[in-house]
Each structure stands twice: as structure tokens, then as C-alpha cells.
Structure 1
Amino acid sequence: MNEENTISLKVSADNLYVSKDRKEIYLFIDLKAKKATLQKERTPLNLSLVLDRSGSMSGDKIKYARQACKFVVENLEPDDNLSVVIYDDQVEILSASAPVKDKNALKRLIDGVTDRGSTNLSGGMLEGYNQTKKTYNTKHINRVLLLSDGLANAGITDEKVLQQIARQKNTEEHTTLSAFGIGADFNEVLMTNLAEYGSGNYYFIDSPDKIPSIFAKELQGLLSVVAQNASLKVKFPSKTLAVSKIFGYPGQVKNDEIVFDIKDVFSEEQKSVLIKFSVKEPFAEESAFETTLTYDDASTFKRILTTEKTHLKVTADKNLFDNSFNKEVLQQIILFENNERLETAMGEVDHGNYDKAKTLIIEIKTEMTVQMKRLPNNAEILVRMGGVTRRLGRWDEALALHTRAAQ
């Protein structure tokens, strides 16, 4: 771990020893940015506000969304670029991307937005990207801010395709996306994944009181860039290992390397990646992972390169192997894998498959109970376990209502 750098890099395997019968290996990577030092000039922003005005946004939702958009406008500077895109089944450019000169005019336009129609989320999102592209600048922070309940029912509605759009725009056009879920009945899985694949942040707005703090946090982060053009590469022993799953951040597998295009890193931001490898053949000798982080330091303008090697030693000593598991990595494995299962269960609920969702939740709860024996009294896992139990109770109620309605 390199504490003196703007971004610290910590790499840990779930176990530094490998046995002949080992089937899986996990590698956990944790990046932490230092607090930004005061800068005389802040980095300009190039933003697109994409506002869902569909019928499902009626009532408080559209009010919250308008308030949020006006808060963003009020906190921008003349050298920032902003566009405002609204959508229902049709996409409309309320204000094309341009420097923020007349805030009052922009706020009046936003005040005139009312709810109507169905939800072409993909069309609105794509136009937001298109607007940021028109005023794209490598020296600016380029980001789409998507405000929606995520209930897409027009245009592209396949959630995996929508996620890939966010990923593609992030990797190819270097424009990130933050998602703001609005109201209690929104598609949490889609909105969370759009932010993850778009390398942005995810927030939940359920009351107007939260708008200032949520958007202050988002804008403060955007205004406190500590590193740009960041990239992470993990070289692994491809003769013995194959990548089976990547959690936490989208990566591209290229032969014996996994590449993560991180781009901008903000003050005190933390990014975590968990990589699951399957063992193709037993280890005959010591092997190693080589993890390299590169970025441009925003305060010194220097290109920084940090490399860490994580060695795996072969052992036939079962006691040594069993007692060498890294508890921090085990915790991350439990949290990441069960979160993915929970997303699958929530997807079943979205499609009305309450029985399948309940079965998955029971499986998650059972497995977490077993896993907790390895990490007793782990606070984060106990909190997650409580959340799973509460969700199971709510879905029991939903299943009962669904069953009565069908009778």
C-alpha cells in the first residue's frame, strides 16, 4: 500500500497459499484517494441534466426532480457547460449544451416541465451523452446526471443493453454517468448498475430535504478532482487461472491482463474491485498477480505509476492453508456475491415472479448464516443480514397479496 501517493493502492488475495484441490481464487483491490488540497482554480464542468418527465414521475417525483435540477444550475459557474434534456416517450432538448450564462432563464425552463407519457429512458440518456459530446473537453469533467425512477417502458428497455450503453460511453467517449433514483417505487437495480457501469455515483431521493446534501456531495466531488486518466491493470497467471467474474467495477479481459479504465478520481473517493478466478490446473510453483495503477496527479501534473505484486505460494499443509484466509477479503466476497444474488431476486420481483424471488432470498439468508460462522460479529455483514431478513418479510407480504389477487 502506497500511503504517500495521491491514490493509495492495496491488493489482497483471499489466501496467499494455494493447495492442489483449490478451485477458486479471489483478488481484492482497494483504491483510496487523499483529500484534495485547496486549488486556486477549479476544474470546469461539462454536464448534461437528463430529466425523466414520464407519467410515472407524477406528483412529488417531478417536483423533487425539478428542485434538484435547479440546485445544480444555481451551483455552476460561467465557464461550466450545461445542457438540459427531458424525456417521456419523446426526447426534447430543453437547453442545448452551452456555458452557464443566464441561470434564471434555465430555472424558468425547468419550472415549466410537467409529467406526461411513457418512459424512453434510453433516448433521454443517449441525448444527454450527445450533448456532452458537443462541448467535450479533456480538461473538463464530462458527466451525465440522470434523474429518473428507472421504470423504462419505451425505446430500449432491456436493462443489460442500457448498462452496456453506459459502459460504452464511459470507455469510448470518456463521459461518466451518475444516477439519481427518485421516489419510493423506482428500479433500484437498474439505476445502481447504470451508475456503476457509467463510473459515476448513485443516490436515492425520497424527500426534498435531501436534495441539497445529495447534489452538494455530487458537485463537490466533481469539483475536487485529485487524479485524471487513471487506469488499473491486473496481470494474472493465465496458465493456471481464468477470470470467471468481476465485481464492483467493469473491466476488460485481454489475454493475461484485466484492464480497468477509471478516468477521473475525486477527493477521498474509494473504488473497490473483487476478481474471482477459476483454477484451470493445479499450481506447480509459486505464481503472482501484478497490479499496476497509473494516473495524472491533478496537483503536480505528473504521471504516477504504482505497481504491487501479490505472490501465491504452493503448500500441502492443510492447517497452514485453512488458517491463512484474509478476513477482509472474505467479507468482501460475502458482500459482493450476495449483493449480486439480491439483484437477481429483485429482478424477479420486477417481473412479478414473487415465488422465485422468495426462494432466492431464502437461499441468500441460509448461505449468509453459514458464512457468518467464518466471520462472527462482523458489523457490515450483520447489517446486510438484517436487510435481507426485512426484505424477505416485505416480499412475504407482497406474495400474499399477489396470491389473494390471483384467486
Structure 2
Amino acid sequence: GLDCPRPPRRDRRPPVNIALVIDRSGSMSGDKIAKAREAALEAVRRLGPDDIVALIAYDTGVQTLVPAQRVGDGRRLERAIGGIEAGGNTALYGGVTRGAAEVRRHMEDARFVNRIILLSDGLANVGPSTPEDLARLGGVLRREGISVTTIGLGLGFNEDLMTRLAQRSDGNTYFVEHSADLPRIFAAELGEVLNIVARRVVIEIEFPSGVRPLRLVGREGTIRGQRAELTLNQLYGGQEKFALVEVEVAPGRAGTEREIARAQLSYEDALNLRTGRQSAARRVQFSESRAAVISSADHKVQTDYAANIMALAKDEAVELADANRRDAAAAVLRQRTQELRQMASVYGNAGVGSVAEASAPAAAKVERDGIDGAERKAYRTEAAQTINQQSTGTGPR
């Protein structure tokens, strides 16, 4: 796990290079577009005069309302935001690619934190529009150092598309059921962007002979032989990011210890651009005593594992429900809940127990009623937030 300290001074932070990409299709009319304008204004007002912002609006086509430029006094941006009106279809892919083009205009300055913030309430229906299309785009942008935060509004957007774009680009994702919450969500997102402490993060984990890495739980990464590797675009101050790796350890003699993993971390300090490196090792002790094994368990790691396992179970349940296999979807949730209850009982872990009990009602609900549109969006978004260890203290809904 990576514990990221808060920066000592809030007035010293890396500048940001942001594209605000706003859906202004016909379905955004009325209160939605009004709250979207209010949220965009809230974002601009949180930035400093030397931050870079571009404003893009999309419907059937894509329009750059304000090219990437310094915020200054913000008046030009405020006038442009105030003029956004709804009408037309949803060229979401084009909106994101235009936003990326504007962000790239200032990427030669390595100080900037690069981010696209995408708002949509509908289905992408102009240009590339599948979750796979947007996931590929997210992967490309991540490799360039651009993250995309997606904000899905209402019940008409494609949550698979939005969560996959965010996850593949190492951005955040939100489900906002009611437009009145948009300004709060934009404020929360800007709070994170303005609190980045490290970038270009690479975690390499080496496993010695006798330890076989099986899989990464939740987070995307690679396992090749005795090495696992993960990358992150950025780390936020005051947050923890972690990777969970399941391993198979060869038996050892009681009373002996063995190193089972050694992690190497490299990153770029977001403020001074210097490269930092840290390392840590994980050891285990072998014992014939069941009580000793149980008492030595790391309850926090178990709880994090439980939360990620339930997130993956919810994703699997959505896939099964989509295939009209409601009973199978309920069975997955019920089985995972029972497994976590057993873990909580054996290890006396209240955190794991809380995860299990919070998920318990879902199986009966899915078996009885299936998964409706709002629940599907909540399942997908909450699973992505859990796997990404996204801060959700303000809540996405």
C-alpha cells in the first residue's frame, strides 16, 4: 500500500492543465444543463490564474468554446460557460478526443497535471461508441499522461463506457443521479486534481523462488513469471493506494521466516519533478498453530481484499443479469457474501463482516427483481471506485 502524505502547504501545488468536456445534447435540457453550467463555473473558480483550462461542448458535433489557455481572471470562461445550451445528439468520443487535443497543447511543460473532466447524461451515438472503443482511448491517454474523469448524470448514460474510460486512463468516475449534485461533484474532483503529490508511478513486485503470484485482485497490471507490475498516473495527498496480489507459498518449516515479496516504487514528485524511489518487503512466519496463524492476520488487508472481492462480484452479477441469468447473478452475490462471513468469523474481523453484511441484501433483491437501471449504474460505479480506491467521502449520488 502507498500512504500519500498531504502537501505541507496548500498554496504550493503543481499547475493543472484541464479540459472540461460538457454534454449539451438534447437530453441535457432544462435543469441538467443549468446545473452543468453551475458545476463548470465552480470548477473554474477553484483554479488559479496560471492554471490552463479548455472548454469543449458536444452534441451532434464538437465545438471548442475556449481553446486551452490560462485562466487569468476567468471572465472569458465564465461567459462561454453561461452560453452553453442543449440540443442535438451525443458525439462523446469526439468530445473526449477534442479535449485531449487541447490538453496536449501544453504538455511540453512537465509541471502540469493533465486531466479531462467529461460530463454526459446520454448514450454515445455519434462516432465510436462502444465501451471497448472508449477503453482503448483511455489506455492511449493514460500512456500519454492524461487521465479522464467521467461523470455520468441521470439514468440514460452508458455506465460500462464511462467506467471503463475512467479506469483505463486512471481517472475517477461518478454516478450523479440528480443534477443538483453536480456542483458538489465537480468541486470534489477539482479538490483531488489540486492535491496531486506524485505522478508517473510504477510499482514492481518481485517474488522469490517458492512464491508463485496467481493474480492481481481488482487493479489492472501484469504478472510475468516472478514479477508483477502496476502503473498509476498520479497519487493524491492524504489518500492510500494499494495493490492486492494473491500468491501461493510453498510450505516451510514451523518457526522459520521467509520473505515472500519485495516491492520497488518509483515516482515523480509533482512539485519539484524529481524522481523518488522507495522499497519495502513482506515476510511471513510459518507455524503449526492455527491460533497463531489466525492472530497474525492483517485485518486491514483482509478488509481491503473483501471490498475488492465484492466489487468484482457485483461486476460479475451485472454481466449475468444482462444475459437474463438472474438466479446465477444472485448466486454469485450470495456465495461471496457467505465466504466473507466465514472469513470474518474465523479471523474475528469486524471489517470483513461489515462488507459482507452490507452486501447481503443485494442477492435477495437481485433474485426477486433483477437489476434495474439505477442499480446497474450504482453497481458498476461503486465497483470501479472500490477497485481504484477512489475517495468518495462526498458521495457520488
Aligned residues of 1:346 and 1:357 also touching (Cα < 8 A): no
Find the counterpart in structure 2 of residue 161 from structure 1: 133
**Structure 2 counterpart SS, 1:305:** strand
Q: Distance in 1 between matches of 2:245 and 2:202?
A: 16
Is 1:308–2:293 an aligned residue pair? no
2:266 is the counterpart of 1:294: yes
Unaligned 5+ residue runs, structure 1? Answer: 1-29, 399-407
**Alignment pair present for 1:381 and 2:356:** yes
Structure-1 residue corresponding to 2:245? 275
Cα gap change, 1:348/1:53 in structure 2, threshold over 3 Å: closer, same or farther?
farther
Instruction: Supply the distance in 2 between the matched residues of 1:150 and 1:397 (Cα, whole angstroms).
Output: 17
1:141 aligns with 2:113: yes
Q: For 1:7-406, what aligned pairs fall within 5 Å after superposition?
A: 30-101=1-72, 103-136=74-107, 137-149=109-121, 151-170=123-142, 172-237=143-208, 241-248=212-219, 250-277=220-247, 279=248, 286=258, 288-297=260-269, 303-311=275-283, 325-347=297-319, 353=323, 355-376=324-345, 377=350, 378-387=353-362, 389-390=364-365, 394-395=369-370
- Do the aligned partners of residues 35 and 124 (structure 1) sit closer, same or farther apart at CA in structure 2, a change above 3 Å counting? same
Could you say what secondary structure the match of 1:181 adopts?
strand
Structure 1, residues 321-355: CA drift from partner, whole Å, max 9, x if none?
67765443333333223312312333455x5x4x3
CA contact (8 A) 1:189 1:347 kept: no
The 1:319–1:161 alpha-carbon spacing in structure 2 relative to 1, beyond 3 Å, is farther
Q: Assess if the C-alpha contact under 8 Å between 2:25 and 2:86 holds in 1.
A: yes
The amino acid that maps onto 1:122 is: Y
Distance 1:357 1:292, change over 3 A: farther
Percent of residue pairs identical: 25
Q: Counterpart of 1:374 in 2: which secondary structure?
A: helix
In structure 1, distance between residues paired with 2:207 and 2:333: 30
Distance 1:103 1:302, change over 3 A: closer
The 3-state SS of whatever aligns with 1:114 is coil
- Tell me how far apart the structure 2 counterparts of residues 56 and 179 of structure 1 sit (CA, whole Å): 17
For residues 198-232 of structure 1, the C-alpha deviation after alignment (integer angstroms, 9 at most, x for no partner) is 22222333345433432222222222232333322
Distance 1:175 1:397, change over 3 A: closer
Structure 2 residue aligned with 1:22: none
Calculate the TM-score normalised by the size of structure 1. 0.76
Q: Contact 1:247/1:275 (CA < 8 Å) preserved in 2?
A: no
- Preserved CA contact (<8 Å) 2:204 2:228: yes
Secondary structure of the corresponding residue to residue 172 of structure 2: strand
Q: Counterparts of 2:222 and 2:211 in 1: how far apart (Å)?
A: 19
Number of residues paired by the alignment?
362
Higher relative contact order (CA 8 A, sep 6+): 1
SS in 2 for 1:94: strand
Q: Greater shift after overlay, 118-127 or 79-88? A: 118-127
Partner of 1:20: none
Shift in alpha-carbon separation, 1:57–1:345, aligned structure 2, 3 A:
farther
Q: Distance in 2 between matches of 1:87 and 1:324?
A: 55
Aligned mates of 1:268, 1:302 — CA distance in 2: 20
Cα distance 1:312–1:120, how it changes in 2: closer, same or farther (>3 A)? Answer: farther
User: Which structure has greater strand proportion?
Assistant: 1
Q: 1:242 to 1:133 in 2, by over 3 A?
A: same
1 CA distance for matches of 2:364 and 2:73?
Answer: 50
State the TM-score, normalizing by the size of structure 2.
0.78
Cα–Cα, structure 1 residues 73 and 319, in superposed 2: closer, same or farther, change >3 Å?
closer
5+ residue gaps, structure 2, are 374-397
Deviation at 1:46, TM superposition (A): 0.4
